[in-house]
Chain A
């Protein structure tokens, strides 16, 4: 069972570069999420998608865009990376009505 798969696992960007983090889940979940995790802080929600075709901002959406490509895939795009976006990014998914989130293994992003 693959669960939630994120790519890449590691990435180094220069300030101003753009990139897309990919996420796919094979559990037929309706809801998908992008979080960032920084030292000393809890996971913070960037964007979420309650169902295919919908996306909503979370707590820290500035500097990011998302696309819910289909039910399986939810991508996160950084248009112009900044050092403040250095973080570990987690994608997660859940069934509608269920509060258990299943997480990917994370993408460690460094912006220099």
Chain B
């Protein structure tokens, strides 16, 4: 089992729709979780951290389910500019270098 797994997609979604995708992680003691966005041939950019109580930033909502070991990202009122690959990132515990474990990404395509 991979340490961090994501559905690669692509998710083809009409503009204005709501879309959600999950990411599962294998290490139950993982401490920090993030969602990054990566546009084609560019570096990843932090979209949002994921907090235990769930958090929202505008149209984006992130949630953590420790019992089932997954995090989710919900995008409401999707825009064409949301088209990108969304990377789930997990920070495993007891790692003094704070290494990250990356999912392979979920590709999202918003269609007009």
- Real binding pair: no
Q: Which A residues are closer than 8 A to B by beta carbons? A: none
